[in-house]
Structure 1
């Protein structure tokens, strides 16, 4: 079991989710059940799967949930690029969001590598 307040990746994921909510709040109302909803759900999924895995007993289980979170981060990237192409997200906002996602993905991969080493030792 891990202490969530010590997991920088979790804090980073929450910051990303808040930024996605703020960004999608500017989307037109006809996107309420489209890109707005989907982008928000996947951003929350990223920040939710990290603590779900952290609460598991084994590093292998934690790694599994980090994998889900990472897959969701790629899904979010795609949705934001589509939103940008539809001119719902500015190039500047897209750049900021993609940088945050990239940083989160790097943190995720690093944590997964550490967990793999940890689980292979035991």
Structure 2
């Protein structure tokens, strides 16, 4: 039997968001154990919020999808802060912070482009 597939799973920004969640899990596994319920948990939650909001809004009206994309974009900004804090606290190297920022910047651009496309079609 073929695995059921949802339309939002074909969105490139959704796939990038899932990849970023994987990146965050690998990165936060190196954080100190006392951060399990602190920055590590927050970084994971906010990174997961990106694909969750994309999935939740997809398939709804364009206006609703745009609203969920805005929430995903807000989570991208929150991830930037989490990465900055992790770098400042010495949990990650500057190169890792930069890698996260590159990934987040790409997602932010994709989300913004999708939002503009949806607004244009209304």
Match for residue 79 of structure 2 among 76, 84, 87:
76
Pairing 1:20-99 to 2, within 5 Å after superposition: 20-56=24-60, 58-99=61-102
Q: Which runs of 5+ in 2 are unaligned?
A: 1-5
- What is the number of residues matched between the two proteins? 117
1:113 and 2:113 aligned = no
Q: Give the drift of 1:22.
A: 0.5
The TM-score with structure 1 as length reference comes to 0.93
Structure 2 distance, partners of 1:113, 1:37, is 32
Runs (4+) of structure 1 exceeding 4 A deviation are: none
SS at match of 2:80: helix
Does the Cα contact within 8 Å between 2:46 and 2:78 map onto a contact in 1?
A: yes
Structure 2 distance, partners of 1:116, 1:54, is 14
Query: 1:51-80 CA distances to partner (integer Å, 9 max, x unpaired)?
Result: 101032x10000000000000110110011
Q: CA RMSD in A?
A: 1.0
SS at match of 1:78: helix
The TM-score with structure 2 as length reference comes to 0.93
Structure 1 distance, partners of 2:103, 2:27, is 13
Structure 2 distance, partners of 1:43, 1:17, is 5
Q: Give the drift of 1:6.
A: 2.1
